[in-house]
Amino acid sequence: MRVFITGIAGVLGSNLAMSLIEQGYLVSGNDVCRKEEAWRLSEIIDRITYYWKATEDLLREEINSDVIIDAGLGVADRPLGNLSPEYTVKNNIFPALKLLELCRRMKKPPILVYASSFNSLYGKVNTTYTERTPVAPASVYGWTKGAVEELYLTYYRAFNIPVVITRVGSAYGPKMRSDELIAKVILYAFKDRVFKLRSPKAKRLWTYAKDVSTFYLKMLEGIEDCIGETLICAGNRGDKIVTNIELLKIIGKVIGKKIEFVEEEYEPGELINGKPISFRVNAEYSRNKLEWYPFYTLEKGIKETAVWFEENIWRYT
């Protein structure tokens, strides 16, 4: 099977590419960094076809694959997204529209898989979220993810473009961006710096990168049966949902350091009617359908991530 990945040089895209190649898939993809700068792909760069292009500039023949996994982040929630609404909307929705239009003009369009968000789609407190829960984003970034989901499903209903929506929990692991919370805390701890913790009591559901990869591998095995579905790839063994303060304590315990921190203000969308964002998840439908369950506990995933960062800290300094 031929798989094309947008945003292939990012954390999600590079991990998926590695897992797919190991399973014998033919992989290609695009990203906005030069081939020689795509360091997350260094182990497999000679085994994939890489296009140094934005998604909007891709040509039909370049994405000629059986499946396209749209893993391009566009403008993420940090550091720019929520405080630059117009820029965020344009850069998150236009690439998806271009990709859908390219596929619509194909005689036999590939199956399009959208890697959406999980935590950013919901803006209610103490609600249990399932695959059928209507999205209620409380940030501009979350709104764009929900809007692209609906755009994908509209093309499925109106033009019979085969699509699958996947909602991925806050993914973490080796090679993750240094401005994401777990990576940032680990790097600060190694340098014994005081951490400025935003949104201290807001909760998140973290999912280890290797679990995300096994989810997509399971999905690809029966991809035809997933068309038109919304599936949740979120959780860890035990489905531990923690506040950011609790996360810092777990990281400190795992790496054997006491992490000093000061609490700061809440990020946009993580304080709802004066209360920190809080939720529960019930993803049994997706898990039963794919026969996929998270293998990694939060602690085990953090330990592997910390080991990788300790060995590769030079990449971030």
Q: Which residue has the higher pLDDT, 280 or 201?
A: 201
Residue type, 102: L
Q: Which residue has the higher pLDDT, 317 or 270?
A: 270
Residue in 198, 167, 157 with CA at minimum distance from that of residue 181: 198
- pLDDT per residue as tens digits for the range 195-236: 999 999 999 999 999 999 999 999 999 999 999 999 999 999
Domains of the chain, start order: 2-176+207-235+279-295 (3.40.50.720)
CA 90 – CA 74 distance, rounded (Å)? 9
DSSP secondary structure letter of residue 312: S
Instruction: Decide if pLDDT at 306 tops 60.
Output: yes
- Which parts of the chain fold into alpha helices (H)? 11-22, 85-104, 140-159, 181-190, 209-221, 244-255, 284-290, 298-311
Residue in 93, 84, 85 with CA at minimum distance from that of residue 116: 93
DSSP secondary structure letter of residue 118: S
Q: What HEC string does 101-147 produce? A: HHHHCCCCCCEEEEEEECHHHECCEEEEECCCCCCECCCHHHHHHHH
Residue with tokens 């290609």: 28
pLDDT tier at 314, thresholds 50, 70, 90: confident
Mean pLDDT of 257-276: 89
Residue in 149, 148, 1, 5 with CA at minimum distance from that of residue 63: 5
- pLDDT per residue as tens digits for the range 70-113: 998 665 555 555 677 888 888 889 999 999 999 999 999 999 99
User: 49-58, 122-131, 176-185, 227-236: which has the minimum mean pLDDT?
Assistant: 122-131
Instruction: Decide if pLDDT at 116 tops 70.
Output: yes
User: 256's torsion region: left (phi>0), alpha (psi -120 to 50) or beta?
Assistant: left
CA 9 – CA 35 distance, rounded (Å)? 9
Instruction: Note the pLDDT of residue 214.
Output: 97
CA 58 – CA 70 distance, rounded (Å)? 13
Instruction: Decide if pLDDT at 191 tops 80.
Output: yes
For the sheet containing 241-243, what is the strand order? 170-172, 203-208, 241-243
CA 80 – CA 234 distance, rounded (Å)? 24
- pLDDT per residue as tens digits for the range 18-69: 999 999 999 999 999 999 999 999 999 999 999 999 999 999 999 999 999 9
Q: How many CB atoms lie within 10 A of CB 192?
A: 10
Q: How many residues does the chain have?
A: 317
The token pair at 145 is: 């993810």
CA 124 – CA 132 distance, rounded (Å)? 15
Instruction: Decide if pLDDT at 263 tops 80.
Output: yes
CA 220 – CA 18 distance, rounded (Å)? 15
Mean pLDDT of 273-288: 91
Q: Work out the mean pLDDT of the chain and round it to a whole number.
A: 91
Instruction: Note the pLDDT of residue 133.
Output: 87
Mean pLDDT of 120-125: 77
Instruction: Note the pLDDT of residue 78.
Output: 54
- Distances in Å between the Cα of 227 and the Cα atoms of 111, 157, 298, 306 are 8, 11, 30, 37
Q: How many CB atoms lie within 10 A of CB 81?
A: 24
pLDDT tier at 271, thresholds 50, 70, 90: confident
